[in-house]
Amino acid sequence: MTSDMGATPSTSGTIAGPRKITSRDALTALAVPARFAILDHLLAVGPATASQCAKVVGETPSNCSYHLRALAKVGLVERADASATDGRDRPWRATAAGFDFSGDGTQAGEIAGSALEAAATRTANDAFDRYLAHRSGVPQYWRDAAGTQLYRLEITAEELTGLAASIDDLLRPYIRSNRSELPQDTQSVHLQVRSFPDTPGKDAP
C-alpha cells in the first residue's frame, strides 16, 4: 500500500501474495469495524503498537490492545517484538502481505465474506473522502500523481480473472511488507481496484 514517485520496488526475496482466510472465527473477528481498521493499518504501514493504532482508528490504546489480541487469536496478526513489557508499546504486524476473505464456499462463508467486502469498500470510500476534503493541503506533486480512473470493459470472466491477476502482480511489490527499503518521500497511498459484472436494476425487465 505504499508507493513512490518513480522508484523501483525491491526485488530481494520472494514477493508475498495474499493468504486465503476461510476460518469462521477469523471472519467473525473482522466483523468488528475497529479490528478491520487496525488490520488495514498494519498492512499499510507495517509493524505498529496499540498506541500508534489508536491514533489512526479512533480507539483507546487499551481497546486496541484488546482488538489486537483478538486478531492474534485467529492468526491475522502477531507480535513483532516480544521483548517489550508494556502491551501498548509492543509492536504488532500482520501475518501476511494481504488476505483473501472470499470465504469457504459455504453460504455462511459467502455472507461473512460479502460483509467484509462491504466494510472494506466503506473504509476505502472514507479514506477517499478524507483526501478530497484535505486535498488543497497536499503537495502539488502528490496531487499530480493521484487520480481517478473509471473503466467500463467488455470482457469474459476468464479475461477478467487474468487481468486482475496481472494488476495484482504489478502492485504487490509496492506493499510495505514486500519492500526491504523505502525510498525517501515514500508515503502511504490508497489504490483501489474493484471489478464486478453489470447487473440490471430492480425495474429492468
Tell me, what's the pLDDT at 12? 39
Tell me, what's the pLDDT at 3? 26
Question: Per the structure block, which three cell numbers stand in for 199?
Answer: 447487473
Residue 137 and residue 123: Cα distance in Å, rounded?
A: 22
Domain 2-188, classified CATH 3.40.30.10, yes or no: no
Q: What is the pTM of this model?
A: 0.66
Tell me, what's the pLDDT at 1? 29
pLDDT tens digits for the chain (205 residues)? 222 222 233 333 455 566 777 777 888 888 888 998 899 889 888 899 999 999 888 899 999 999 999 999 999 999 987 665 555 578 999 888 777 776 667 777 777 778 778 888 888 888 899 999 999 999 999 999 999 999 999 999 999 999 999 998 998 888 877 787 888 988 888 888 889 999 876 555 5
Q: Which residues contact 24 (CB under 8 A, 6 or more apart)?
A: 104, 108, 109, 112
One-character DSSP codes across 57-125 = HT--HHHHHHHHHHHHHTTSEEES-TT-SSGGGS-EEESSS-EE---SSSHHHHHHHHHHHHHHHHHHH
Contact 95, 75 (CB under 8 A): yes
Domain ranges of the chain: 2-188
Rg for the chain, CA atoms, rounded: 18
Tell me, what's the pLDDT at 49? 94
Tell me, what's the pLDDT at 5? 23
